[in-house]
Structure 1
Amino acid sequence: MAEFDTSHVKSIVLLGHAGSGKTTLAECMLYEAGLINRRGTIAERNTVGDYHELEQERGNSIFSKLMHTKWRGYKINIIDTPGYDDFVGEVISALRVADTGVMLLNAVMGVEVTTDIIWDYTEQFKTPMIFAVNKLDDDRADFDRTVAEAKNHFGNKVLVVQYPRQQGAGFHEIIDVLRMTMYKFRDTGGKPDKLPIPDEEKARAEELHKELIEAIASNDEFLMEKYFDKGELDEDDMKMGLKKAMINHDLFPLFCLSAERNMGSGRLMGFIDNVCPSANEMPSQITRTGNILPCDANGPACIFVYKTVSEPHVGELSYFKVYSGTVKSGMELENETTGVSEKINQLFMVEGNKRINTNELVAGDIGATLKLRNTHVNNTLHIKGKNYELTPIEFPLPNMTVAIETIKKGEEEKLSVALHQLREEDPTIIIEHSQELKQLLIHCQGDMHLAVAKWKIEHNHKLEVRFTKPRIPYRETIRKMADASYRHKKQSGGAGQFGEVFMRIEPWHEGMPEPAGLNVRGRDTYPLDWGGNLVFYNCIVGGAIDTRFLPSVLKGVMEKMQTGPLTGSYVRDVRVCVYDGKMHPVDSNDISFKIAGLQAFRQAFQQADPQILEPIYQVEVLCPDDITGAVMGDLQTRRAIVEGIDAEGHFQKIIAKVPLAEMEGYSSSLRSITQGRAKFKSKFHEYAAVPYDLQRKLIDEYSKAEKEELV
C-alpha cells in the first residue's frame, strides 16, 4: 500500500530566471525535511538537483530534475527547472504535471525576461502560483521594487503574504501578514523563532493583512458575507479562500526568502502542504475525446509520460504522472498512441540522480519507470479496455538552425542514432534531412541549447561532430515574359531522338489574364511542395506536337524548376505556355521532349529577368528599455526592417523583418549585447527579392562551385 494517499501528495515546480535560486531553494527544502543532512551549493557542485556533469561544469541548471520530500504528513514532489529560455521545453513539460508553481524573483534584478516568458505558460496551464522573492540578504535587494514590478507584470492578483523587516546583509526577520507573526532567524538560518510583530511594523502589517483578507473574501461569496458580518476572517478561512483562489488562478501569494542562508523555506513548505492544492483538488483531466478523468486512486489506471532520459548502461527512464488509479509494478498498460502494451517492471521515486524502488504510485503522484520500448514523451498509458488520451504538451518552435556532420567519414549511421536519441529526450529539438539543401539540420532554441546537444553527442555517443552554417533555401522566379525554343536531336544508329519545343514563360500571380496571342487548349495549376505554383498551358495548334508528349515537356520543366538556373534553388510562381514545336514520326519519344522542355525552359528563364528570392523571418525581441537602442542597432546591421516597438509590461518588444541569411549567430550575439537580459523568437514570414549586388554575388558563387565540381 502506498505510504501517502492522493490528498497527501503535492507536486510543485520551481520556476524563474537563471540565477534566481531555484536549485538552492530545492536544497533547503530537502534539508529542512531531513532527507539530506548537509546543504550542497552550486559553487561546490554537490547539490541534489544539479548532479549532471554538464550542469556542474557550467554552473547552472540545464535539465528539469524530479526530487521529493516528506513534510508533516505530506509527500511533496519538487521539480527544479532551468532558467534559460533555451531549455524552455524542460519548463513546459514540468508545468504540465505540477499542481503548483513557485516562481522565484531575484530581489536584486526584479522581474526578468525569462520570468515573463515562463508566466505565459503558467497562464496556459492555469497553474496555481506562488511568488517567492529570493536573495533578500543581498545588499542590492529591493523588495518593494520587486513587488511593484510583479504587480505591474502579473496584476494585482499578486498578494503580499510576507515582507522583510530589513534587507541586505542584516536580513533575518520576516513579517507574515497571514499569521500576523514575525519570524526571526539565526545567522545560520533554519527554524526561526516566532515573535510578536514589533510596534513600529504593526501599521504596515495590519494594512497588508487587511488587503489580504479583502482580496480573499472578494473571490468567495461565503467568505465575503462572513467578512461583512465579523469584519475579520480567521486563519482557516483565509487558507480555504486562498486555496480556492489559487486553483481558479485568481490570487498569487508572495513570500520572502534567502535560500542561500536557508531563511523562509520552512514556512513556504508549510504553506504548500496546508494550502496548495493536491491533484485531486484541481480540475479533472479532459481526454482528447472529451471524457472526464477524475484524479482518483480507485479509478482506472492512467499515466502521462512528460519526460524521457537515456541513461548509459541502463536504457530509457520514462518520467510520468499518475492521473488516475494506482499503478503497481508488474502491471501491463496500453499505450493509446502506439497501441502497444507495455509492462511496468519497476517503479521508482526519484531523488535527483537516485532511484528509489517502490511497489506502487497513487493518482496525483509522479515517478519513473525503465525500458518502455514503444513509449515516448506525450504518450498516455492506461489499463486495457479504455481509450484515454490526455492532452499532449505543445512545445515551442525552434529559433535557430545549424547543419551537422561527422568529422570522420563512415559514421553517418551512428550520428543518426545519436540524433534520434537526442530527439527522444528533447522534443524541442527537430532533426531534418533536407533534400533541398543536401544537409542534415538541427533546429533548436538557441546556442546554449545547441552546445548541450553537441556535448551529449560527443560524450554519450563518442562521436566527433562539427556544426556548419546551413545553406539558405533561396527561391528563383522571373520578372518578365520571354520566349525560347529548343530542338533536341540525337542520332546514334537505329532509332534516334528528336523533339522540338517552343515555349513562353511569364511571372505568375493570382488573377492574371489568359496568355495574349495564344490559343489556349488546356490549363493545369500545380501547387509546388516548396511554395508557389507552376501554371502549365497547352497552346499547341494543328497538332505540331502530339498531346501525349506534353506530360514529358512538363516533366522536363519541373525537373529544371528543382535546380534553378541561377543558384540551383527551387523555382516558383511561373506560367509556362507550350505553343509550337516539331516531332518526328519515328525518332520522337518521351525522353526527347523531356530534354527539349527542360532546355527551352532554362533558356527562357535566363532571358526573363530572373530574380532570386530570400526567406524573410519575423523576429520579436523582448528586452528592457535601457538596451533597446543596442538591440535595434544590431538588427539594422543584419538588413532588418524594424516595423515597430510595443511596450509589454516594463519590457520593450521590437518587431522586425530579418533575412534568414543574416540571422546566423543572432542568439549568441543578442545574449552578448544584453548580458542575457533579452529573448527573441522568430518565424517564417515571406520570400522577398534579394538586393541586386547580393544576387550577383550568389550567382557568381554558384557558377564557381559548379565549375569546381566539373574539374
Structure 2
Amino acid sequence: MPETARIRNVAVVGHRGTGKTSLVEALLFQSGAINRLGAVEAGTTISDADEDEHKRQLSIALSLTHATWQERKLNLVDIPGDPSFQGELRTAARVVEGLLVTVSGVMGVEVGTSRAWRLGDELGLARVVFVNMLDRERADFFRTLEQLRSQLSPQCVAVHIPIGTEHELTGIVDVLHMCAYASPEGAKEGEPGPIPDDIADIAAEYREKLLDAVVETDEALMERYLEGQELDAHEVAAALKAAVTKGEVFPVACGVATKNLGTHAVLDLLVEGVPSPAKKGSPIDVDGASTAVFVFKTVADPFAGRINLFRVLKGRVTAETTLVNLRGKGKERLGSLLELQGKEHKPALDYAEGDIGGVAKLKEAQTGDLLVDKEVAIEVPDFGFPEPVMSFAITPKTKGDEEKVATSIRRLAEEDQTLHLRRDQQTGEEILSGMSQMHVEVALERAKRRFGVDIELHPPRVPYRETIRREARAHGRYKKQTGGRGQFGDCHIVVSPFEEGEYEFVDKIVGGVIPQSYRPAVNKGIQEAMHHGELAGAPVQGVRVQLVDGSYHTVDSSEMAFKIAGSMAWKDAYMNADPVLLEPIMELEASVPDDVV
C-alpha cells in the first residue's frame, strides 16, 4: 500500500440526483481503475451494489472505491444524497480530508448541497465543486456558479467553463491552462486542443477572475500580478493547489459525468488540492497509542459476512495486527483485511497510516469504535447524527417472531445509526424511527432479505398526556370496618396547574391530623392514579398537589389505607380541575436561502 503522503481521501457529496455515483464511475474509468463505464439506470455501476439501490436507482449506503492518479492513491467514498440517508454523510466526513461536491447544472444549489457544505465548514475540509449534467435542458453553468458564490462561498471560482449549452454542449475550456477538451461521449478524455474562437473572450474573462482569486492568497504572486508581470500557468497552478488545500479557494469544474466529460481535470484537482493525511494529521487525537484504527461504517456482505470499514489513524496495520476495542475492551485481530472497490473486494496485505480499507470477521467492532494497540484514554468524537423524524409501530407478520424482529433491527442499526428501535412504555408498542418513510421501508426490506423475517408497519398510537387547567379541592376517605382491625384513611388535597411536564407534592399538614409516616402513602397513591388519567387513560403531568388536612384512626389506619384514600381524593379533584388532553408536538427547523427570504 502507498505511503501516507501519497494518499488522498475524498467523499463525493451533494443533493440527491446530481450524479455522484455516475461521477465516481467516470473518475474510476478515466483513471483506469475500471475498464468499462457503467450506468446507474442499468444497475452496472461499481458503487451501487445493493438490491434496494438498483430497485430505486439511488444510493442508500456509502460505498468505498479507489483509484490511482499521478502516482497517488485516491480513496473515493460515494455518499447518498437523499436526506433519508444523511447519516452516511456524517460518518464519511470524519475520515476524509476533502469533499467533491456535485451540483446539478439544472437545479443549482439545493438543500443537500448546503448541508454538505456546512459540514465541510464545520470540519475544515478542502472542497472541489463539479457542476454536472450540463447537457440537460435548462442547464446553465454561469447561473449555477453565481448561486455557489452567493449561497455557499464567494471563494467558489470557475476553473472550467462549458463550450455550448444544453444539448449543444461539445466540451469544456480549462481556463487555468487555456485549453479545451472535446466531449469524449463515454470514452477516455483525450488530449487538450485549442479554444474555439467564439468562446475565447469569455475564457479570457474567467481566467482573469481565477487569477484574481488565486493571487489574493499569495503575496509574492500578488505583487508580480499588480506590477503587470505575466504569470506562468505552473506558478498559478501551484498557488491554486495551496489555496485549495487551505480552504481559501474552492475550484468549480464542470462537465457531464455520464459522458466522462471533465473528469481528467477533476482528478488533477483532487490529488493536487486535497491535502494528504500526512499533511492534515489524524481526524481524532490518538496520542498515547502507537497503532489506532477508527471503524466508521459496518456493512453486511452476502459472501464475506459483516465488513467493517476503517481508517488507520496511526501506525500501519497488517493481517497480524491485534488491537483493543476501547468500547468493549475486547481484543480484535485484523486477520481478514480487504481492499474494497464498491461491491467487489479482494484480500489486502496491509494499510498505511491515513489509508482507508475494510476488514471482515471482527468479533464485536461496530460503527464508531476505536481500536488501539493498548488501552489509553481517548475521547471518540460524536458523529453528530441527526435525530429521527418519522416513527412507525412494527409487528412481526408471524406470531412468535418478536425476538427475531428485535435482533434483525439491532443488526441493521449497527450499520445505520440513524435507525432507532424503542419500546413505548405508554402504548406498549415497538417503535422503529428513521429519517423518512423510505428509510424505514428500506430497513424492513433488508431485514426480510437478510434475516428472513417479515415485519409489518403501522401508524403508532398517539402517546397522549393529560393535565388540568384550574385549581380544585377534594376529600378522599377510605373506611372498611367488618369486625376486628379495619382500614381507615382520610385526606384533603388541593390540586392546581404546575410547570409543563412536572409534578410536585407539598405537605401542608399542620399538627398531627395525619401522622408523618402515612403522608408519603398519600403521595404514592396519587402518583399511581396519575399513570392513567380519567379522560383517555393517558399519564397526567403538570400538576401540583397539596396535602392540607385529614384524619386517622389509631388502630385501623395503615399505609395502604392512606394510599387508597389519596387515589380517591385525586380522582375526585382531577375531574373538577378542568382536565384536558395534550397531544405531542414536534419542533421543526426550516433552512431558507437568503436570496428567497
Q: What is the TM-score with the length of structure 1 in the denominator?
A: 0.80
Distance 2:79 2:277 in 1: 20
Q: Tell me: CA distance 1:329–1:6, structure 2 relative to 1, closer, same or farther (3 Å).
A: same
Answer yes or no: is 1:617 the counterpart of 2:590: no
Cα deviation for residue 123 of structure 1 reads 1.7
Matches within 5 A, 1:318-467: 318-384=308-374, 386-467=376-457
**Equivalent position of 1:550 in the other structure:** 519
CA contact under 8 A between 1:336 and 1:389: conserved in structure 2? no
Q: Tell me: CA distance 1:332–1:225, structure 2 relative to 1, closer, same or farther (3 Å).
A: farther
Q: Tell me: CA distance 1:222–1:568, structure 2 relative to 1, closer, same or farther (3 Å).
A: farther
Distance 1:617 1:242 in 2: 46
**Equivalent position of 1:150 in the other structure:** 148
Cα deviation for residue 304 of structure 1 reads 1.3
Q: Does the residue aligned with 1:223 lie in a helix, a strand or coil? A: helix
**Equivalent position of 1:532 in the other structure:** 501
Q: Tell me: CA distance 1:48–1:286, structure 2 relative to 1, closer, same or farther (3 Å).
A: closer
Give deviations 1:70-111, integer Å, cap 9, x for gaps. 223121111111121111001221222122211111112222
Cα deviation for residue 276 of structure 1 reads 2.5
Cα deviation for residue 411 of structure 1 reads 1.3
CA contact under 8 A between 1:243 and 1:277: conserved in structure 2? no
Q: Tell me: CA distance 1:162–1:554, structure 2 relative to 1, closer, same or farther (3 Å).
A: same
Select 2:31's aligned residue among 30, 33, 39: 33
Answer yes or no: is 1:602 the counterpart of 2:571: yes
Q: Tell me: CA distance 1:63–1:326, structure 2 relative to 1, closer, same or farther (3 Å).
A: same
**Equivalent position of 2:43 in the other structure:** 45
Q: Tell me: CA distance 1:152–1:357, structure 2 relative to 1, closer, same or farther (3 Å).
A: same
Cα deviation for residue 533 of structure 1 reads 2.6
Cα deviation for residue 166 of structure 1 reads 0.9
CA contact under 8 A between 2:282 and 2:314: conserved in structure 1? no
CA contact under 8 A between 1:16 and 1:104: conserved in structure 2? yes
Give deviations 1:382-424, integer Å, cap 9, x for gaps. 2215433442311111111222122222111111111211211
Give deviations 1:208-262, integer Å, cap 9, x for gaps. 2222122112123343344345634333333332233223322110111111111
Cα deviation for residue 283 of structure 1 reads 5.0
Distance 2:296 2:149 in 1: 31
How many residue pairs are counted as aligned between the two chains?
A: 597
Distance 2:184 2:566 in 1: 87
Distance 1:320 1:364 in 2: 10
Give deviations 1:584-624, integer Å, cap 9, x for gaps. 223221111111111111111101111222233232345xx
Distance 1:147 1:260 in 2: 21
Distance 2:355 2:165 in 1: 38
**Equivalent position of 1:561 in the other structure:** 530
Matches within 5 A, 1:56-95: 56-95=54-93
Amino acid at match of 2:60: I
**Equivalent position of 1:219 in the other structure:** 217
Distance 1:563 1:237 in 2: 76
Q: Does the residue aligned with 2:99 lie in a helix, a strand or coil? A: strand
Q: Tell me: CA distance 1:311–1:183, structure 2 relative to 1, closer, same or farther (3 Å).
A: closer
**Equivalent position of 1:592 in the other structure:** 561
Amino acid at match of 2:203: A
Answer yes or no: is 1:102 the counterpart of 2:100: yes
**Equivalent position of 2:5 in the other structure:** 7
**Equivalent position of 1:264 in the other structure:** 262
Q: Does the residue aligned with 1:281 lie in a helix, a strand or coil? A: helix
Once the two structures are overlaid, the 10-residue window that deviates more, 326-335 or 57-66, is 326-335
Over the residues paired in the alignment, what is the CA RMSD in angstroms? 2.1
Q: Does the residue aligned with 1:483 lie in a helix, a strand or coil? A: strand
Distance 1:493 1:48 in 2: 86
Cα deviation for residue 58 of structure 1 reads 0.9
Matches within 5 A, 1:573-588: 573-588=542-557
**Equivalent position of 1:133 in the other structure:** 131
Q: Tell me: CA distance 1:188–1:65, structure 2 relative to 1, closer, same or farther (3 Å).
A: closer
Amino acid at match of 1:137: D
**Equivalent position of 1:239 in the other structure:** 237
CA contact under 8 A between 1:549 and 1:590: conserved in structure 2? yes
Select 1:505's aligned residue among 491, 495, 506: 495
Distance 1:350 1:412 in 2: 35
Distance 2:377 2:589 in 1: 41
Q: Does the residue aligned with 2:136 lie in a helix, a strand or coil? A: coil
**Equivalent position of 1:648 in the other structure:** 593
| More relative contact order, 1 or 2 (CA 8 Å, 6+ apart) | 2
Once the two structures are overlaid, the 10-residue window that deviates more, 236-245 or 261-270, is 236-245
**Equivalent position of 1:696 in the other structure:** none
Give deviations 1:272-330, integer Å, cap 9, x for gaps. 2233221222255352xxx769xxxxx92212111111334643211111122111112
Matches within 5 A, 1:683-702: none
**Equivalent position of 2:278 in the other structure:** 280
Distance 2:306 2:219 in 1: 50
Once the two structures are overlaid, the 10-residue window that deviates more, 318-327 or 179-188, is 179-188
Cα deviation for residue 577 of structure 1 reads 1.8
**Equivalent position of 1:642 in the other structure:** none
Cα deviation for residue 137 of structure 1 reads 1.8
**Equivalent position of 1:164 in the other structure:** 162
**Equivalent position of 1:628 in the other structure:** none
Q: Tell me: CA distance 1:479–1:138, structure 2 relative to 1, closer, same or farther (3 Å).
A: closer
Distance 1:359 1:272 in 2: 26
Amino acid at match of 1:145: R
CA contact under 8 A between 2:159 and 2:253: conserved in structure 1? yes
Give deviations 1:348-373, integer Å, cap 9, x for gaps. 11011222211110112100112333
